[in-house]
Chains A and B, each alone.
Chain A
């Protein structure tokens, strides 16, 4: 087994892709975002509920996709639950750097999400890792109702 593939598909990632956490419909979601990656047909449906200050009170997802996109969504929902808007946006930037930037050190605040670091060696898989994050970004922007987001803007 080569190290690059082991780095990409760490045991934590495989575990989350097989048994994604926070997977299911969020019944009383304030906003629902449908994200898709038309290049591969992967889809995510994200439901978000906000607390009084606008932070993420609850977040769940459904959908289908590759191990990277599923694990990324699962890990993301675990990490973001209970976070303020500012914290979510900081995390989004840090995660994007983590999976795209060859040089940057992963900030400690990312915690478990740092297992996704291997993606930076596979530029064609960055969109898989970012799909759930693009959806949550859209959810914050939208605030309420339904929204769509795509990895390939029209």
Chain B
């Protein structure tokens, strides 16, 4: 990277499934694209999922194809550990943006041979696995990560605590003095695709997350079920590392709730129904309880719901969960909930509680017109992949919570808007 000033037809911000899709669809339609991602790898949240509903197929399958499309297309320039800091509309109707590259401390010479990680003495919490295990401070975000380059977590290690990584690297790929850099780009259009973060489960103070290790979130469940996750795909109870025999799912954990997220996060019903299948595949006897308000398996997803309903050991209870507490004697969790269909108040003991936490759009601190952000943080674009600010569009969960197929649909459409703008300019 020698250029200090770049230009392209399109800037795509965020390289989750929305941003990757927008970038490859645009490049395959002939646009030059700058794709920036703030993490050291692309794929975003879907890279962390074990399987997609309703097919129970692995996201890495589609990512493999998309990464091939991306890496073989010379029209796409990808920057990881990159963020857009400023965004100015120029007199010619284009956007001048500053892109900050945070230091990776590993340069492009890295061959991902892995020798550095073998000798690294430091350890860091593995955010890719939702902090459920550790990696060396110098690490690859996950085995199949793209780009296949290591990264140094300098928060935990300055690279000098043992300096062994530097000694062992044959390719001069470690640069501890990497200060990152800033460059300016002029682009015709921008597609914002910065995605979402899970709602902070610690805020749901009656449900015990952070207090009891066996209360986990739905995203943690994905990592527990993933073959490359902290338990190699075995769904184990965090406190005992034993196979789980009973599980309660708490739907709308923080969603459809005026004290937390007032909207519905759209995917949590299907996600939990999918998780019941993960558990069933590993334990035919596990008892599963799903506490819900409405089961929102819209469209063809109804088939999936019907199949889960056919499982006699999955019990659906309509009603809110009041409290999760610990039975000190058994070590199990007690779930207290109402069942609005029977009118009864129920108390149930389970080994694992999964909070179906919702999605919060990642629109904080983005250099976009604040008028376009609604009170819940979503980019308000009336179902149309366009923003009022000329040449700027949004797609993916930042416009509303939705499932992967809908995200891809919207991301594809957002490219058409960008093309219209390029034509106008």
Real complex partners, A and B? Answer: no
Residues on A facing B (Cβ under 8 Å): none
